[in-house]
Structures are given as structure tokens and as C-alpha cells.
């Protein structure tokens, strides 16, 4: 299992006086006590292996592995002091969620994405040596893959660094007027847990929201967290005000789904957009091989430039994945 951020162990906390210099820990981007333990079976969950070397070996196909919750969703992004201090309201308090809790869920997803991208730059260059001994065709494929991926990582890093600066100010001042969000409660516990950041290109009706090809325009970003709670489950979407037009339209399209379709829509959204998720073992093992293959392939949608983007990927179809019984939605 790839340990994200292994080569850059620096706490991401920025105070009014400067950066933190304390050693980092293997922190969970999905809370261990509040979420992972509720999804686990005998302390284990299924998690996708997004190791880039594994991806090359499997021709871009992501595989799932049963891992202990101590190793699930970890990244070395914070020291023990600041991990406990910053995220106490979402790790040790009941999720209402308040606006502060919704912001912290967004902040954690953002920091995890930033840390992964930073580590990916060095990892990506190492992948250039993976073409040794391969055919000319394979060497060309690997070098093109690495070059395109490198450009994408650098562009994403610039935007993520800028957003983190804005969120750092909110964290220090506890003023969230530039943060937007929407939280949906479920009556039953979800069989998945997730925390990640994405750029929604299309919505749950198949409408295109923004174009990846528009390189002169900064794309809107949206965080998403799905957690089991003491009373059921919580799905939390978060974004900054500059992304309001795209993200609000995306959430509105989700809320327009029938209650019977919302759980299936979220499952499709997770597999379409986030590698940082875990699955309850009994749920995953009960899925047919066809369903496992279908939803696993969703992880390749608009992630592999050689595969045409399916803008209808989030439209709930005839497949049934889950029914977590949505209750209500709150906007921030």
C-alpha cells in the first residue's frame, strides 16, 4: 500500500507566525473513530490501491484490497498536536453539522489532496524509469503518461495552494463567510466512507457544468465527505464562494433526484470522482462481479485521457447499490 506523502513529512498547519516544524504522524483523512470503525468488519475495510506503479502494471485498472483501519485513508499531513486541535470538532463531537464542522470536513479533504499532489510530483518522475526493458510502444505509452500527468499535477498544485491560503485564513479567524456547503442526513449508516476533492464537470442530470479543456479558466472545486454517524449517516459538500455557480448547480441537481435514487447517485459519484474511499466488507463482497467491475471502471472516467468522458456517468440508472434513506438537507 502506498503511503501518501512519505517523502515530504511537513505539517500543513500555518499559524499567524509561520509554519509548524513538529514531526508529522500518519493521520486519517477519514476519521478512524468516528467513521472507519463503523464501516469496518473486524477492524478491516476495502480500499482502492491507487499506487501509480500498480496502475501502470494493471494498465490503469484500480484494484481493491482489504486493509486494517489503522492503514486506511492515512497521510502524513499534520503533527499530532495540530491534527487533534484542528479536527477535534469533527472527530470527537457529534456532527450536526455546524458551519464550522462543514468547513473542517472541507479543509481536511483539501489538505489531503494538496499533500497527495505534492508527493505525486517526485513519484511521477520515478515512474519514467518504469519503461526499462519494455517494447518501444510500451515505452512511448509510459513516457506520454508521465509527461501529461506531470503537467496536470503542477497545474493542480498552483490552484490547491491558493485555496489552502484562503482556508487557512478562515481557520485562524473562524470566519466562514466565504465558505459554502450543503449537508444531507441519512437515517441508516452508509456502507461507504469517503473524503475528497474534485472538480465537478457534469451533474446528476448529465448537464455539463465546466470544461476541462478551458485551460485559461480556473476550474471550480468541490469537497465531499460521507460518514456513518451515531444516528445514521452524513454527506457533506463544501466549496468556496468563487465556485458557487458550478457547485450550487451540482448540489441542486443531486437534491432534484428522487429519495430512492439519492443513495445510488452518491455511490456513483464516489466511484466516479474519488480514490480516497473505503467500503464495508460485507457490502463489497455481496456485490456481483459485474457490479464490482462496473463501478470500479467508473474510477477511470475522465481520469484516463485515452477514454472518452461519459458525461452521463452520474445519472442514476437501473442499478441498485444502496438505500440509506435520505432525511433532510441543510445549506450553509
Per-residue pLDDT of 45-96, as tens digits, reads 999 886 655 555 555 567 789 999 999 999 999 999 999 999 999 999 999 8
Q: Verify cis geometry, omega within 30 degrees of 0, for the bond prior to 97.
A: yes
Q: What is the pLDDT of residues 53-67, one digit of tens each?
A: 555 555 556 778 999
Over residues 149-202, the pLDDT tens digits come to 677 777 788 899 999 999 999 999 999 999 999 999 999 999 999 999 999 999
> What is the model's pLDDT at position 55?
54
- pLDDT-wise least confident of 14-28, 120-134, 199-213, 229-243: 120-134
Q: C-alpha cell of 233?
A: 449517516
Tens-digit pLDDT profile for residues 300-324: 766 665 667 789 999 988 788 999 9
CA of residue 308 relative to chain centroid, distance: 22
**6 pLDDT more than 60:** no
Give strand pairing partners of 14.
19
Q: What is the mean pLDDT of residues 236-245?
A: 97
**pLDDT value at residue 54:** 57
Does residue 136 register a pLDDT over 70? Answer: yes
158 burial (CB, 10 Å; 0-12 / 13-18 / 19+) is exposed
Confidence check: pLDDT of 139 > 80: no
Average pLDDT score over the chain:
87
Residue 135 has a pLDDT of 72
Please provide the DSSP assignment of 216-265 as one string: TSPPP-EEEEEEEETTEEEEEEEEEGGGHHHHHHHHHHHHTS-HHHHHHH
- At 312, list the grid cell: 452521463
Residue spans per domain, the chain: 14-83+98-331
Mean pLDDT, rounded, for 238-246: 97
User: Percentage of the chain with pLDDT > 70?
Assistant: 82
Q: What is the pTM of this model?
A: 0.88
**What pLDDT score does 104 carry?**
98
pLDDT of residue 209: 96
Q: Terminal CA-to-CA distance of the chain, rounded, Å?
A: 37
Which of helix, strand or coil describes residue 26?
strand
Amino acid at each position: 500500500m502506498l503511503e501518501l506523502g512519505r517523502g515530504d513529512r511537513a505539517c500543513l498547519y500555518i499559524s499567524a507566525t509561520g509554519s509548524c516544524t513538529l514531526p508529522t504522524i500518519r493521520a486519517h483523512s477519514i476519521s478512524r473513530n468516528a467513521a472507519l470503525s463503523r464501516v469496518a468488519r473486524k477492524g478491516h475495510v476495502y480500499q482502492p490501491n491507487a499506487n501509480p506503479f500498480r496502475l501502470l502494471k494493471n494498465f490503469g485498472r484500480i484494484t481493491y484490497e482489504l486493509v486494517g483501519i489503522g492503514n486506511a485513508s492515512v497521510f502524513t499531513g499534520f503533527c499530532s498536536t495540530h491534527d487533534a486541535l484542528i479536527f477535534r470538532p469533527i472527530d470527537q463531537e457529534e456532527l450536526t453539522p455546524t458551519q464550522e464542522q462543514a468547513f473542517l470536513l472541507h479543509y481536511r479533504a483539501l489538505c489531503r489532496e494538496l499533500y497527495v499532489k505534492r508527493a505525486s510530483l517526485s513519484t511521477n518522475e520515478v515512474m519514467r524509469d518504469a519503461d526499462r526493458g519494455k517494447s518501444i510502444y510500451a515505452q512511448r505509452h509510459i513516457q506520454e503518461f508521465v509527461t501529461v500527468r506531470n503537467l496536470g499535477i503542477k497545474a493542480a498544485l498552483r490552484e490547491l495552494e491558493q485555496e489552502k491560503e484562503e482556508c487557512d485564513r478562515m481557520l485562524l479567524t473562524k470566519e466562514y463567510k466565504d465558505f459554502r456547503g450543503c449537508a444531507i442526513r441519512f437515517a441508516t449508516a452508509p456502507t461507504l466512507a469517503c473524503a475528497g476533492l474534485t472538480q465537478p464537470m457534469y451533474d446528476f442530470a448529465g448537464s455539463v457544468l465546466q470544461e476541462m479543456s478551458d485551460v485559461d479558466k480556473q476550474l471550480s472545486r468541490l469537497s465531499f465527505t460521507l460518514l456513518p454517524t451515531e444516528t445514521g449517516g452524513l454527506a457533506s459538500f463544501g466549496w468556496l464562494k468563487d465556485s458557487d455557480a458550478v457547485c450550487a448547480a451540482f448540489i441542486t441537481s443531486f437534491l432534484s433526484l428522487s429519495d430512492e435514487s439519492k443513495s445510488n447517485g452518491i455511490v456513483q459519484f464516489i466511484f466516479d470522482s474519488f480514490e480516497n474511499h473505503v467500503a464495508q466488507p460485507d457490502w463489497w463482497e455481496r456485490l456481483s462481479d459485474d457490479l464490482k467491475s462496473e463501478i470500479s471502471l467508473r474510477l477511470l472516467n475522465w481520469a484516463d485521457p485515452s477514454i472518452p468522458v461519459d458525461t452521463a456517468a452520474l445519472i442514476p440508472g437501473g442499478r441498485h447499490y444502496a438505500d440509506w434513506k435520505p432525511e433532510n438537507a441543510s445549506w450553509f
